[in-house]
Amino acid sequence: DTLSCYFLTPRRIKKIMEKQGVRGPKPRPLNGNILDMATLVAKSTSHDMHTINHDIVGRLLPHYVAWSKQYGKRFIYWNGIEPRMCLSETELIKELLSKYSTISGKSWLQQQGSKHFIGRGLLMANGEDWYHQRHIIAPAFTGDRLKSYAGYMVECTKEMLLSLKNEIEISGRKEFEIGEYMTRLTADIISRTEFDSSYEKGKQIFRLLTVLQQLCAEASRHLCLPGSRFFPSKYNREIKSLKMEVEKLLMEIIQSRKDCVEIGRSSSYGNDLLGMLLNEMQKKRENGFTLNLQQIMDECKTFFFAGHETTALLLSWTVMLLASNPSWQEKVRAEVKQVCNGGTPSVDQLSKLTLLNMVINESLRLYPPATVLPRMAFEDIKLGDLHIPKGLSIWIPVLAIHHSEELWGKDANEFNPERFASKSFTPGRFIPFATGPRNCIGQSFAMMEAKIILAMLISRFSFTISPNYRHAPVIVLTIKPKYGVQVCLTPIDPPN
């Protein structure tokens, strides 16, 4: 079904959109506007930024800036042979994301790019398949089950803070690239929540997945050349063998849990994410929809991918923002001290950390880890006054919406958490986790994790931005600090 979208001649889509006044840059044969985009981005990101400022849309999405100026808020461009319409009107975005979650989804090109990595897990699934998976998995991310992960988060954070403190005491080092620590920490947390008792093996799987992710990202750069993915290149061979290695380890964990249940040593597959998926695999058999082992493995990989890098980036950017805004750092530290009373934060205390919450939101606004949201229409869709033909991909430029002066006012590019103090603002303009039925399933998980880690970090250390930090945000799937975030840490002595 998805494939059939590609048989619709792109020319027809172009004509339908032109009739509605949606135009864009002229595509080149096969490659569309890919080269134009690459050239503009290479130029705009060839230098670091001169100061730590957040006016980054022109740097990161120069093609968006140029084309929206020339063709208006809606324009169409070509990612190779895939036509994409950029949509930045908040009303229409809200309508698309809330009403059409099963008849729009991930395009074949996107699925192809991640086939050997996360397969058809929740993030890449479409239609009915997506709907069933979402309903099976959703309970793992709400209510008491969600709260039960807080303990793991606190434990892993304690270990990281201790290793930082030891490093300072032993080597006298003060400067740290905090991104490295955050990446390791969020990977530890997701390994524990996913594989609790098989934690060590889980970590091994995730090390392999990190390599696999890099290889797949490189290989998908060549995807736009027709036929290239059929060549048994070095990439393809390496990708296949890594994939097999990861799946073999995953199967070992799954099999040992099944054995325990079958010989009666335990009555359930476990309380971690994997256990929950296996329990569901048994339960859902009666009502017709089943999760098979391949899907469970794809899901395990999906949670690792979707759940750790995004959160690590949120944390790194927030530390950068707090390090370069000492007055907010002090305010948040005082709040944590008052709410948590010197102890580790409990789930109930987290909702009282209002200032920290505002800072995290402001960080997600300025540096949204997921910079664009893609949705392909699998059927004709009516969106406001627009007729969207089947086969058209819609791209929502989250980063540009978050920085729009029209939506946020003259200080749109300034760090000002105060703007999140009032709860009433136009819906649809703040969408770091998307919105509607297909929003981020891990949103509450990520927010809980970020608050716990930042609250614990800020009460143990004060930090300033290092003179070695180079402000150079780049987009490689997500928004990353090109050279990391170097901060100088000073331990804060605990009272008495």
Give me the residues that bind ligand HEM (CB under 6 A), please: 122-123, 134, 302-303, 306-307, 310-311, 314, 369-370, 373-374, 432-434, 438, 440-442, 445-446
Tokens 């597959």 belong to residue:
269
Distance from C-alpha of 190 to C-alpha of 276, rounded to nearest angstrom: 15
**C-beta of 68 vs 193, nearer to ligand HEM:** 193
Nearer to ligand HEM, 78 or 304 (CB): 304
Residue nearer to ligand HEM on the CB measure, 187 or 314: 314
C-alpha to C-alpha distance for 23 and 242, rounded to whole angstroms: 43
Give the end-to-end CA distance of the chain in Å, rounded to a whole number.
66
Q: Tell me the three state secondary structure of residue 34.
A: helix
Closer CB to ligand HEM, 149 or 469, in the complex: 149
Q: Least separation, in Å, of the C-beta of 447 and ligand HEM? A: 8
- Measured from each CB, the residue nearest to ligand HEM is 442
Distances 374 to 111, 246, 434 between C-alpha atoms, Å: 12, 28, 10
Separation between Cα atoms, residue 268 and residue 258, nearest integer Å: 9
Which CB, 138 or 334, lies closer to ligand HEM? 138
**Whole-number Å distance between alpha carbons of 266 and 364:** 42
Both tokens assigned to 198: 């098989």
DSSP string, 186-248: HHHHHHHHHHGGGHHHHHHHHHHHHHHHHHHHHHHTTTTSTTGGGS--HHHHHHHHHHHHHHH
CB of 394 to ligand HEM, least distance (A): 11
Closer residue to ligand HEM (CB): 134 or 387: 134
SS3 label, residue 476: strand
Query: Which residue, 71 or 289, is less far from ligand HEM as judged by CB?
Result: 289
Among 453, 456, 462, CA closest to 363: 453
Give the H or E element holding residue 336.
helix 326-340
**Identity of the residue, 36 or 82, whose beta carbon is nearer to ligand HEM in the bound complex:** 82
Q: How far is the CB of 134 from ligand HEM (least distance, A)?
A: 5
- Pick 215 or 314: Cβ nearer ligand HEM: 314
Q: Is 300 annotated as a binding residue?
A: no
Query: What contacts 441, CB < 8 A, 6 or more positions away?
Result: 122, 134, 137, 138, 141
Distance of closest approach, residue 237 Cβ to ligand HEM, in angstroms:
29
Q: Rounded to the nearest whole angstrom, what is the least distance from the CB of residue 494 to ligand HEM in the complex?
A: 29
CB of 450 to ligand HEM, least distance (A): 7
| DSSP string computed for 363-423 | HHHHS-SB--EEEEESS-EEETTEEE-TT-EEEE-HHHHHT-HHHH-TTTTS--GGGGSSS
Minimum Å gap between C-beta 131 and ligand HEM is 9
Asked whether 266 and 248 are in contact (CB, 8 A), the reply is: no
CB of 53: closest distance to ligand HEM in angstroms? 22
Give the nearer residue to ligand HEM in terms of CB position, either 40 or 86. Answer: 86
| Residue whose pair of structure tokens reads 């799937």 in the numeric block | 477
DSSP type of residue 27: P
Query: Would you say 102 and 132 are in contact if contact means Cβ atoms under 8 Å apart?
Result: no
Residue bearing tokens 């703040």? 430
CB of 356 to ligand HEM, least distance (A): 14
Min CB(473)–ligand HEM separation in Å: 15
Which of 436, 152, 133 is closest to 303 using CA atoms? 133
Placement of tokens 């997600």 in the chain: 364
Min dist. Cβ of residue 438 to ligand HEM (A):
5
DSSP per residue, 85-116: EE---HHHHHHHHHH-TTTEE--HHHHHHHTT
Q: Which of 187, 189, 163 is nearest to 461 (CA)?
A: 163
Q: How many Cβ atoms sit within 10 Å of the Cβ of residue 250?
A: 22
Nearer to ligand HEM by Cβ, of 40 and 359: the residue is: 359
Task: Specify binding-site residues.
Answer: 440
Binding residues for heme: 440
